[in-house]
Structure 1
Amino acid sequence: MIARHAASDLAHRLGEHAEAVCRHYLSNGRRQGTYWTVGDVRNAPGRSMFVRLQPSPKGPPGKWTDAATGEHGDLLDVIRESLGLVNFRDVADEARAFLAMPDVESEQRPTMKPPSARTGSPEAARRLVAMSKPIIGTLVETYLRGRGITTLHGTAALQFHPHCYYRPDDHGPTTTLPAMIAAVTDLDGHLTGAHRTWLASDGTGKARVNTPRRAMGDLLGHAVRFGVPGSVMAAGEGIETTLSLRCAMPDMAMAAALSASHLAAILFPPNLRRLYVIRDRDPAGDGARDCLLERATDAGIEAIVLSPAMDDFNEDLRHFGLGAFRASIADQLMRKDCIRYLTEAA
């Protein structure tokens, strides 16, 4: 009975992300209307198998039928057959990994070793991003606008997940909370990690948990990117800080490295000639600034520090308003960049 309940719950959760499941395990198929079509459940090319992607009177998403063989099932069957698995435990482990879920049985047995690091791997990050959706009209938009960030075009790196798993630091029970998901990518645009900001249920702030922000995957040197960098770009630590500067200069490419140490190690695009370093007023921010300035100089890149009047640029934006904030930025830019970026943004 327990196994049957677990299977039903996993199948339901997979069905909530049916298209993402199909894209991963049935990669030889493609979407046609409200169905995913493929050759068979073992991912052969073709069009005889249909996977329902949306709820309908005929049944929930994730249910499938192979018109050629008469086979039918759910997305757990897709995982089992496409990977050639036999035991339900192996299928369930794979499903939980795809959903970035914890292994509940392992949590209940303290003598067992902790879950595999795979749950925090780049692959787990990729799956989490694939299961998320654009931010417009979601709690993420509410959250960002509440912080004075209103320039939201070109923010495809940010996504919304309505039920992102959160495990407390004290190993308390795992819960689900809405979250802003940020895709971390390398210089070629390949996803290497993800950053989660758990939000309050109404989007008016962060969730009331001990660590509302966490990253996963391969982060060193990489960043959450907004825009395609040319010869000029800006780089900072936090997502909100970087997005605040972007409100003043929406056409300048920017990158959020997610921490001071990662900002110091961020990789430079090959065509970069001038880097604006977004500074936070704290010891860690000063250390990251100095390290990044030295690395940029050694690479032949002109580096210029942009400093906030208060603790960070988001605080400046909210306290002074966009007009005054833009004026304070203008005093720190190269004249040609001021003309190029601030004039176009005005």
Structure 2
Amino acid sequence: MIAGLITGMGADSATAASSLRGVPPEFEPWILRAVAECEHPELTPALMAAQLQQESGFSTSRKTVSYASARGPAQFVDGTWATYRNDADGNGRADPFDVGDAVTAQGRYMCSLLGDAKASGLKDDVRRLALAGYNAGWGAVLHYGGVPPESFSDGQTYHYVINIMKMMKDYEGAPLLNVGGSGAGSQALRRAAARIGTPYAYGGGGPAGPGRGFCDDGNGFVRGRCAASTTVGFDCSSLVQYAYWPHTQLPRTAAAQYEATAHRPVARGELRPGDLLFWAHRDGHIYHVGLYAGGGRVLHAPRTGRQVEVVALDSAMPASDYRGATRA
């Protein structure tokens, strides 16, 4: 089970990417997708899962309507739904009762609120501020200078925030990747590990994080459809570029990254976490790059339709295509 981001206050300072547990299977892929599409690492799968539990208990019933006429698993009122609505599941309608539509809209709204919280300068955990904004409206957060007190609205928002922050740990699974050390390679691997579960988007992403991709020459397509143009994510080289930025400003493509680091080759028996691993076609063209994750594994963005993952080095790409490793 793969999660999109490290749980914690900041992805770059954490040490392990966590899996997601205890979530109904119909919700899990949408939670991971919503997290991957948000540029704020504070939005984690566990946070979204705990919020869905608090909102509706993961209800998929069309009878899930609150006293305030909030509807669906993520409990959207009409005004907010009009802003964040989307037909994420592609069934021809944007419906707050559809799991995919609701969870994706929840992620977009929370992502926007996290941005508001960061820009506000308010002295509190930005996750708490965003949750309060989701429940009471951002205006209430600004009015009170933080999470509204227990005296506001019979304590509903106050306890909403407390409950979700406590429940988050119930949805955090075991670590997928522990990264020790303090060198540039370990730091880069830690940063990349924060993006485990992010979708692959051909041509997407860069130093600032995941981004929408594009299609060309047969790349980025799924069953004849250009998936890259609607996917927010990384391709193999943008993930590596993002991981090392700004400490080492690597170029954008795998071939260019190999050229920029080839003067520092690393034998397979001397690999360290964060070393760059390359694969090439028979003509010598470098077509893929990943980061050594220790224990004979590689962290990489494999191809369209997949996600950033950690796999055995020999199974990442055809073993015969392995070109070698370098150190940035």
Do they fold alike, i.e. is TM over 0.5? Answer: no
Q: Which is strand-richer, 1 or 2?
A: 1
Q: Which has the higher contact order (CA 8 A, sep 6+)?
A: 2
Higher radius of gyration, 1 or 2: 1
Give the TM-score range, shorter chain.
Answer: under 0.3
